[in-house]
Structures are given as structure tokens and as C-alpha cells.
Amino acid sequence: MSSLQYYVSGLIFVSTLLGVGGFNGYYHYISNQCRFTPNHLSNVELIYSYWFNKAEYIQFNSTVGKFVGYTEFGVHNAEAWNKDKGLLANWQAQRDRYCKPNVQIDMDDILTKKVEPKVRLTMGKPSTGGHPAMLVCSAYHFYPKMIRVTWHRDGQEVTGNVISSEELADGDWYYQTHSHLEFTPKSGEKISCVVEHISLSEPREFVWDPSMPEPERNKIAIGAAALVLGLIVTAAGFIYYKTKSRGRILVPSG
């Protein structure tokens, strides 16, 4: 098989043999894998393995066509099982019965999966390269892996003073990437990060607002939220007061 492989895997059987009081036990399980290359789904390889305490001791490989032992116990069992032609034929047939249908289903799901990137544009700390400012454009939680992130100043793409990371695995099939632009700010200019991805119908532009530092914008946002909340509480109190006032009966004093 090629070094570029995908696989469908499953846990077949798990057993735990515990010692006295449930401690110092032994862990035994059987696993199967369907290995394949994305461009040749018909060339599927079944790997059926027996494990004891995280050590694989015997394996059936559909390409090899027989069991192979990796420990003394595994070699002993492999020699015995390989004499059973019916057993070997059954496991060889499992590649067509189990692997091929599942490989096609999983590949169809993978190839049609698209997740839009979540993009953040922030101010970073510049290096000692002579530029006083640096912007960071970060794209998170996207799939598939291929993505293009570019910088633009006043509508023109910037190629100098740009450092970008590779697409990094983010877990659960997702990826992230980060692009850094070091620059010297100019009055009235427009700086933006443009993200292109198959999940987007067109390139998406994220414009940097240099009017005030990011911490100050956060303070204003928090202050505005507190002001709105205060107005809501005040209005609710006023309405409650007016409602109670309508229900009072004034009695003249003598």
C-alpha cells in the first residue's frame, strides 16, 4: 500500500482480566482496519489484529494472505491457524464483505463535508524586523484542509512581510491556520485579510479597524452592554411604579 493511506477501523472484542481486588489486570482486545488509498478504493487491505496489554501479538493481513505472529505465543497460533484453509478464505473474503462497502461510504462522507472557517483578525506583537505593528489573521475549525489566506492594503495584495503557518490539525477532522502581517501604519489606509475556502461561495474579506486598540474596543462594548442593561432595569422599575400607582385610592386627611 502507498504511504498515503486512510483507514476505517473498529474494535471487535475487548476483555479485561482483573487481578485481586480489581487491580493489576490484563487487557486483551481484537481490532480491524481497512486501509486504502483515496485514488484507488478497490485496492483495500484488511488488517485484523490481536492485542495483549497494548502489544500486538498476531495479525491477519489480506495482502499477505495469512496470519503472522510477533511473539512466541503469536507465532505458535499463526502456524496453527494458517493450516486451516477455510479460516484463511473466510478472512480474505471479509475484505470484500466488510471493507469495500464501508470504505466507499466513509469516503463519500469525507469528500462532501464542508465547514466554513471561523476567522479572527487581531493585533499581535511585532518581531524585531523594523515594523512597529503586526496583524494576525487566524482561521479556525474548517474542512477540508485546503485554504488560502492573503493580505490586502488599499485593494492591492501584499506579499512582503507576510508569514503564514501550515494548515494545522485541529482535532475531529478540522484544521486551523494563522497568517501574520508586519507593517508600518499609514493614515487612512485599508488593511484586510481575505480568506478563500471551498465552503465559501466567494472570497470573504475581513477589514481591520485601526480607529482604536482592541482592548479599548472591548471596554466600550462592555460599557455599552452595561448601559443598555441599566436602561432596561430602570424602565422596568418605572413601569412597575406606574402600575402600582393606578391601583391606589387617595383618602383626604381631616
Q: Which amino acid is at 169?
A: A
Residue 200's SS3 state is coil
C-alpha 146/C-alpha 194 separation (Å) is: 14
CB 44 within 8 A of CB 99: yes
d(CA 125, CA 135): 8
Q: Which residues pair with 13 in a beta bridge?
A: 30
Residue 220 pLDDT > 50, yes or no?
A: no
- pLDDT tens digits, 6-49: 455 554 455 545 444 445 667 888 888 888 776 666 678 889 89
Read off the pLDDT of residues 190-201 as tens digits, 9 standing for 90 and up. Answer: 999 999 999 999
Pairwise pLDDT comparison (38 vs 154), residue with the higher score: 154
Q: pLDDT value at position 147?
A: 93
CATH architecture of the domain with residue range 118-207: Sandwich (2.60)
Q: What is the mean pLDDT of residues 49-61?
A: 91
Give the CA angle between residues 207, 208, 210 to the nearest 5°: 145
| pLDDT score at 221 | 43
User: Mean pLDDT throughout 221-246?
Assistant: 54
The arrangement of secondary structure in 6-112, i.e. its CATH architecture, is: Roll (3.10)
pLDDT at 1 over 50: no
At 180 the pLDDT is 92
- Of 40, 16, 41, 38, the C-alpha closest to 29 is 16
CB-based contacts of 118: which residues, under 8 Å, 6+ apart?
139, 140, 141, 142
Q: Rounded to an integer, what distance in angstroms lies between the CA atom of residue 124 and that of residue 230?
A: 34
**118-207 shares the fold of 6-112:** no
Provide the pLDDT for residue 116: 93
Q: DSSP strand E in 159-213: where?
A: 162-164, 168-171, 174-183, 191-196, 204-207
User: Quick one: what percent of the chain has pLDDT higher than 90?
Assistant: 33
User: What H or E segment, with its residue span, contains residue 44?
Assistant: strand 40-52
Give SS3 for 119: strand
Taking all residues of the chain, what is their mean pLDDT, rounded to a whole number? 77
Cα gap 187→92, rounded to integer Å: 71
pLDDT at residue 102 tops 70? yes
Q: Are strands 26-37 and 191-196 parallel, antiparallel or unpaired?
A: unpaired
Q: What percent of the chain has pLDDT over 70?
A: 69
pLDDT at 212: 53
Dihedral angle over CA of 116, 120, 126, 131, nearest 10:
80
**Per-residue pLDDT tens over the stretch 115-150:** 999 999 998 877 766 777 889 999 999 998 899 999
* Type and span of the H or E element at 2: none
pLDDT value at residue 108: 75
pLDDT at 67 over 50: yes
Q: What pLDDT is stored for residue 121 in this prediction?
A: 92
H helices of the chain, in order, are: 72-81, 85-94, 100-112, 214-246
Helix (H) / strand (E) containing 135: strand 133-142
Task: Output the pTM of the full model.
Answer: 0.47
C-alpha 129/C-alpha 132 separation (Å) is 9
Domain spans of the chain? 6-112, 118-207
Has residue 3 got a pLDDT over 80?
Answer: no
Residues in the chain: 254
